[in-house]
Amino acid sequence: MAAKWGVELTSDAVGESDDVSFHPLMPRAIGGHLSKRNWARVALLGFCACLTVSVAAAQSASESMLGMAGTPLAASPRSWAVDAAANELKDLHHSNSYLRYRMHVIDAKGDQVRDVIESKDGSVARLILKDGRPLTEDDDKAERQRLNDMIASPSSYFKHVKNEEEGRKLADQLIRLMPDAMIYTYTPGQPQTSRNGVGVEIVLDCKPNPKFSPPSTPAQALTGLEGRVWIDAKSRQVVRMEGTIFRAVNFGWGMLAHIYPDGHLLLEQANAGGNRWIFTQFKEDLSVRALMVKTIHVHTNVDAGSFQTLAGPLGYQDAVRMLLDTPLPTK
């Protein structure tokens, strides 16, 4: 039950005392309310959900496609957004694909690497490296105790899984809005990332549609974001997205949250196997004033890799046992 762009990890799943959302874009709704940090992530989720979508030679080849019947660029830019959004929804609600991978997070809490397993009940993770070094004996003991407590208390675990589902519903709602919330145009020159490795990428610039009326408070995030998206022409999956908060965004007239302009984010995705697309890198750099009280500066860098496709679905307790049975890295 991982999020499309990575993994929705509850505080119990990862061992943090506060909210954790690693596609860091999936907000955790707690008691029907969002925490200060997650109001910022609602804004970023809105944009990423939209298309959650040798340079000179590539530009020359792409320019030659412009206006030619039967070529990818003969279709309307919006059609790519529609297809990419549909694929994001499929991956968001995937039920037959389960992965194990490593997630490296650098943020205000430090530098941490976790071993993540997606189970049929939800994702679980074990801290395996801290600040670039193996865990101390005390750190490992505490992590093992936390995971064993998780096995012993299904009710507590599933309480947090419910929060994941609320975040998933919000992501679903915003993804469905994106084809109409943004205006899409083909990027001049069609600059390729060369990261895809599978062929031509369709490059779109997107900005808010002035005719779009946000139907909910979280959807207001879509009015202050613009950027560029690279879509694999063959699979119509998002390969890369760069976004900028170009103007301030208010939630609840600024009483709930105020997102300051000049924030930036980056998202990269790849096929992890079996046509399962997942994030490989996410960066966010933004400032938000929460509840008219405190300004929070968010600087996060998340990388995911070493993907393994699991043979079949595991219950969360079996997934935790698998984590506990795996030797820790020694360096």
Q: In sequence order, what DSSP letters do the residues of 243-256 get, joined into one string?
A: EEE-S-EEETTTTS
Beta bridge partners of 124: 117
Question: In angstroms, rounded to a whole number, what is the distance separating the alpha carbons of residues 157 and 285?
Answer: 31
Question: In angstroms, rounded to a whole number, what is the distance separating the alpha carbons of residues 273 and 299?
Answer: 30
Per-residue pLDDT tens over the stretch 178-210: 889 999 999 999 999 877 666 889 999 999 999
Contact of 204 with 228, CB cutoff 8 Å = yes
Helix ranges restricted to H, 71-136: 77-92
pTM of the model as a whole? 0.79
- State mean pLDDT over 91-120: 91
Contact of 207 with 182, CB cutoff 8 Å = yes
Question: In angstroms, rounded to a whole number, what is the distance separating the alpha carbons of residues 233 and 224?
Answer: 27
Q: What is the pLDDT of residue 189?
A: 92
Question: In angstroms, rounded to a whole number, what is the distance separating the alpha carbons of residues 77 and 320?
Answer: 44
Q: Give the residue among 76, 93, 53, 284 at the shortest CA–CA distance from 178.
A: 53
Residue with tokens 């609320």: 166
Question: In angstroms, rounded to a whole number, what is the distance separating the alpha carbons of residues 167 and 309?
Answer: 24
State which H helix or E strand residue 55 sits in.
Answer: helix 55-63
Taken in order 45, 277, 283, 162, the sign of the CA dihedral is positive
Q: What is the pLDDT of residue 280?
A: 94
86's tokens: 């549909």
Per-residue pLDDT tens over the stretch 16-36: 533 333 333 333 222 233 333
Q: What is the pLDDT of residue 14?
A: 53
Q: What is the pLDDT of residue 309?
A: 95
For the ranges 8-22, 94-108, 212-226, 311-325, the lowest mean pLDDT is seen at 8-22
- State mean pLDDT over 107-124: 94
Per-residue pLDDT tens over the stretch 158-176: 887 887 778 888 888 888 8
For the ranges 12-16, 57-61, 103-107, 194-198, the lowest mean pLDDT is seen at 57-61
| 313 DSSP 8-state letter | -
Q: What is the pLDDT of residue 156?
A: 86
- Binned at pLDDT 50, 70 and 90, residue 306 comes out as very high
- Binned at pLDDT 50, 70 and 90, residue 302 comes out as very high
Mean per-residue pLDDT of the chain:
79
CB atoms within 10 A of CB 217: 15
Residue 54, pLDDT above cutoff 90: no
Question: In angstroms, rounded to a whole number, what is the distance separating the alpha carbons of residues 275 and 137?
Answer: 39
| 253 DSSP 8-state letter | T
Residue with tokens 């000179």: 56
Between 1 and 133, the higher pLDDT residue: 133
Q: What is the pLDDT of residue 32?
A: 30
Q: What is the pLDDT of residue 243?
A: 92
For the ranges 107-111, 138-142, 159-163, the lowest mean pLDDT is seen at 159-163
Question: In angstroms, rounded to a whole number, what is the distance separating the alpha carbons of residues 178 and 222?
Answer: 8
Q: In whole angstroms, how large is the CA radius of gyration of the chain?
A: 20
Residue 151, pLDDT above cutoff 90: yes
Residue 84, pLDDT above cutoff 80: yes
Q: What is the pLDDT of residue 191?
A: 92
Residue 154 in 3-state DSSP?
helix
